[in-house]
Structure 1
Amino acid sequence: MSKHPRIARAAASTASLIWFFAVTSGCEKPAAAPAPAPPPFEVNVQRIESRDLEWTPSYLAQTSASRAVELRARVQGVIIERLFTEGRQVREGDVLLRIDPRPYQATLDAAKARVEEARARIAETDRAVLRKRQLVESEAVARKELDDALTAQSLAAAQLARTEAELSQAALNLEYTTITAPFSGRIGKTFVEPGSMVDSGSNSLLVELSRVDPLYVSFHVSEREILETQAALESGALALVDDIEHLRIAIELIDGKPYAHEGTINFRSVDIDPATGTAEVRAVVPNPDELLKPGQFVRARGRGWTRKASIAVPQRAVMLSGATAMVYVVGQDDTVEARPVTVARWQADEWLVQSGLASGERVIVDGLMKIRPGGKVKPVEKAE
């Protein structure tokens, strides 16, 4: 046995390692061949075709009553009767409130009496003038007496005119004690109750009345859009089905649901608001079921416009980054090109393209995240 067992074991281990590396180095496999390139991704494309499109510009709009008034007292007095329920429909001429009429009835009666007195005075002066004229002709009295009689006659006529005016005002004030609906509509908030003291000054507000059928829908169009629209009309790129005064307006509720009735334009501001750079446009919309309420926000979409020879692409095909828009176009050799485009605005589910695309080109509409510019794809054309 060796006197140095540790040295012997170390030598044996070293020999084993040398043998292992020698064996394994002889067993190394040759390098693998490169993997074949993956097949092109299949993408859906749409072939762009120039076509006439209905142009439906959309605007955020707000509704308002087509007629709204604050009914106010025109005479002083105490409210003695209220003949309506808040929020209910009333008809034109319906009596809404009554003010105590007794003081005004008394004033009217007194005015009538003064008128009768003035008429009697007129009759008296007429007779006096007739007598004086006869006496003057017979030279029984001086001419001055006839002149005095004529003056009295004129004063009596003036007095009659004044008392008749007072009578008319008294009758009008009595009429003002009965407050009626000036038009058919819906009663709003009431500011008085029976027993309230009202007057024709600061304490005159009685009740609000609004007509909500039809309803007004107002929106604002920017100065830039007005100029662009005028230029498009002049160039023939945009056409009107009817004259602009009869343009139809479709209404869309804020939840996206369409409203059943279309309206027509009935007002266009002639001025541009310098604070906003916009002009107001208003449509009148039927509201027979009163589904729309004054003050409600809706979307107003113009109808009756046609854009000639337009190019449109699905919204999902357009990538936006700030003010920049881009689409992926598939070339003749199925190579992908990133193409900057200029979009006008969108409607429905399409962007209208002003420049950057030509009729007949193929635009990728699905699978945008799988592709890169310069790469090959397998286009599958789908009609939109």
Structure 2
Amino acid sequence: MFKRYIVTLLIVTAALGIIYQQYQTYLANPWTRDGQVRAHVIQITPRVTGQIINMLVADNAHVKQGDLLFEIDPSIYQVNLNKGIASQKQAEALLAKAKNEAHRAVNLEKLTPGAQSELTLNNLQNAIETAQANVLLAKAQVNEATLNLKYTQVTAPTDGYITNLNYRVGSQVIANSPVVALIDESSFWVEGFFKETDLNDVNIHNKVQVTLLMHDDEILEGEVQSIGYGIAKSDGSTGNSLLPNVNPSFQWIRLAQRIPVKIRLSALPPKLQLRVGMTASVKIVKS
């Protein structure tokens, strides 16, 4: 009987020792399972309104910077450009006419002093300046029409992955209204949410070990890039009837808030593809 107590005591002591060791390791190297893969998401937004006449990309496709994604019907913008060019030529012709009239009046005044009144000469000079302004306006309209025609071809601003594409040929797109998301493939990072009590002595450039739920057999190396300076509060936000929302809490329990820590990953395995929203476990190795 005494031997059984000794064995049980040894087992309990060993278990407590292991627990204490793991707790000390946790204190030295904060760890959380509340981590996610993030990346910069660019909203592909056309600058002109029109109907899609050509779709050159598929959903979840990889694209390179400058690749043509889709084309908007350019016919109306080509017409506007033609109108602008015609208006510019007309303005230039009126400018040439105003200059000729002013030149003729000035020469006539030189040959026969007093033949032209000072008011007439001033009006002719004002006509030249007005015509010059009209030429500048016409050129600006041509430039605007040229840009709008160019904007009918929507290209990828960076290398990345198209996602959530629901538009097809014949769909109508509206200027300045996002159409599809493009995930910048060079901007992936991991964001871990640590309890505020775990971030004592955590510094920028501390080494980090990341394990993805989808690839739990591989440990990714990285470092702390930044630590968040603030989080949104829930208590006091406006609720129904413009009254503040206040969450019930127990006076004897103080819950530690979660602070976001941004992790820059080092070189990734060749076949590992990061995806926004992946779940990750993050361990910070304090130096």
Q: 1:256 to 1:147 in 2, by over 3 A?
A: closer
What is the CA deviation profile of residues 272-305 of structure 1, one whole-angstrom value per residue up to 9, with x for unaligned ones?
44348343221233555443321111111113x1
Q: What percentage of residue pairs aligned between the two structures are identical?
A: 24
1:89 to 45, 62, 66: 62
Q: Distance in 1 between matches of 2:170 and 2:214?
A: 45
Contact 1:268 1:279 in 2 (8 A): yes
TM-score normalised per structure 1: 0.58
2:28 to 55, 69, 85: 55
What is the CA deviation profile of residues 128-167 of structure 1, one whole-angstrom value per residue up to 9, with x for unaligned ones?
3333334445332110111111111121122112111111
Residue 114 of structure 1 corresponds to 87
Does structure 1 residue 71 correspond to structure 2 residue 44? yes
What is the CA deviation profile of residues 216-262 of structure 1, one whole-angstrom value per residue up to 9, with x for unaligned ones?
21122333344xx15xxxxxxxxx8xxx3323321112378254532
SS in 1 for 2:148: helix
SS in 2 for 1:280: strand
Residue 171 of structure 1 corresponds to 146
Compare the two structures and name the one with the higher helix fraction.
Answer: 2
Q: Distance in 2 between matches of 1:248 and 1:123?
A: 72
- Unaligned 5+ residue runs, structure 2? 235-255
Q: 1:58 to 1:103 in 2, by over 3 A?
A: same
SS in 2 for 1:261: strand
Q: Distance in 1 between matches of 2:3 and 2:69?
A: 83
Contact 2:78 2:149 in 1 (8 A): yes
Does structure 1 residue 130 correspond to structure 2 residue 103? yes
TM-score normalised per structure 2: 0.75
Does structure 1 residue 188 correspond to structure 2 residue 188? no
Q: 1:57 to 1:131 in 2, by over 3 A?
A: same
- Kindly provide the amino acid, as one letter, of the partner of residue 249 in structure 1: V
Residue 41 of structure 1 corresponds to 6
1:277 to 257, 263, 266: 257
Residue 207 of structure 1 corresponds to 180
SS in 2 for 1:262: strand
Residue 299 of structure 1 corresponds to 281
Compare the two structures and name the one with the higher strand fraction.
Answer: 1
Greater relative CO (CA pairs within 8 A, separation 6+):
2
Contact 2:48 2:175 in 1 (8 A): yes
Q: 1:302 to 1:224 in 2, by over 3 A?
A: closer
Q: Distance in 2 between matches of 1:284 and 1:124?
A: 66
2:213 to 254, 260, 264: 254
Q: 1:213 to 1:87 in 2, by over 3 A?
A: same
- Unaligned 5+ residue runs, structure 1? 1-35, 231-239, 307-384
1:172 Cα offset (Å): 1.2
Q: 1:267 to 1:41 in 2, by over 3 A?
A: closer
